[in-house]
Structure 1
């Protein structure tokens, strides 16, 4: 956790950090681990305010204590709480209701966003309704638990860097989650790649997640993966250059239709190219000073 915080301090807020109270806590040490996560969120190491935490599932005995510790102590310094393994829409609502209750009691974290890990059959069935909940900010795919929930019907290879993009049941789940998130203007976050030493495989997976499956963020399981993922999700130089040319010309035309390289563009494509420029800024790509001053002066 401290290595990730150090890297975020070096690179800037190009990625979020999720302090893990679920799989990161030893059995019997859940309370101490939650307290450590709250302490890190409150510390000066959280200099960008982009540190969240993953709690235990809502039906786990440690869930309520996790929320009490994290929200009660650090609710105003957490960027989000992540809820894993909801069994359905009712579980997601129950988790949100408890988080909101603790925030009211302590007067902290009143606007704390909630992220949900979709990794059960019921949550996938209800994914569009879960995405529509106002408190939800992001949906993530929990690949390992989703495969395990099929009781051997999906082979172990579907958890690998190649199989997770080809097995029909896994592909279907990824597409449903991405579609639900985009329909509700929420953030779809792609699952991890466990082969963290294979940089080429990681880059390829991140590229496919972004370009083919519609994900706008991706989980890492090791700080060494972060730079590769950020680079894969960033637009290319050519894409940024094209977006700059089109948006500047559109602004000069007062957003009337324009012609660029013998292609007609109007407000529908303007929105797309504006999003390219926003993505470039989020991923730390430098933009010309003129473009920054002209298009992002109020940002």
Structure 2
């Protein structure tokens, strides 16, 4: 390990915080943790690559935020409380300025959710960032993709299609991801792309209310399709019910806005199924958390996903020839 690598690790270690459930953190060959009694560990991992998951010129603080946000979103979809995790960095050069800015975004989100960095790795190479995140969920209370039932309503949090719209504008040269946009609508969309909100509090609140859940990362149709496949049911989505932000509707035609919402991805909202009898309780959760929840369809016997006017592209797929050039999300 070079002196430069030690220096970068030291800068990251200085930003991490200890806790009683971390017996041994950064600085050894492995961390030692003390999980809560009566809980399962929820474990997830995501890798973000420059030019694939974010524009190459994205500011390091925004990269730091999103690197952790996509992992916390996975934990939210499982109904797990964020706990700890590791960070692996591949960097073209050892830049203390870049690391400090990256850490500003990364640890702002980590501290907000009580998530602790306990180790990782650094190496020289193309810009790539990988997090393995651990959460804790009481035995038997995890939200899964295989629990949906016939007659369940399909719900989604927040609004859909905003991140995809921002990416579309960037690809057309109409949005600078490195600076605040003068137009309020475009700035809203830019923030939705660069700094998604992991719905951790919602995931926890859905315990006992939802039968299945997934986070919307690859596009609504693709992700509700995972629930349909795992639950051996058919998901019926009503496009007229899709929650579209005012900013999205003012920026795009209704047809393109719906296409972004159905197939765009990168929203990191939660899509979940719940019995119709839980509707009033879910509205109460939405009011309590200040997080809009919208019923967009239901689960029926069958297989696959049904959506009138379904776009040809139903979500992001890695290794597809259609995404061979430029940012692919």
- Give TM-score scaled by structure 2 length: 0.23
More relative contact order, 1 or 2 (CA 8 Å, 6+ apart): 2
**Greater share of residues in strand:** 2
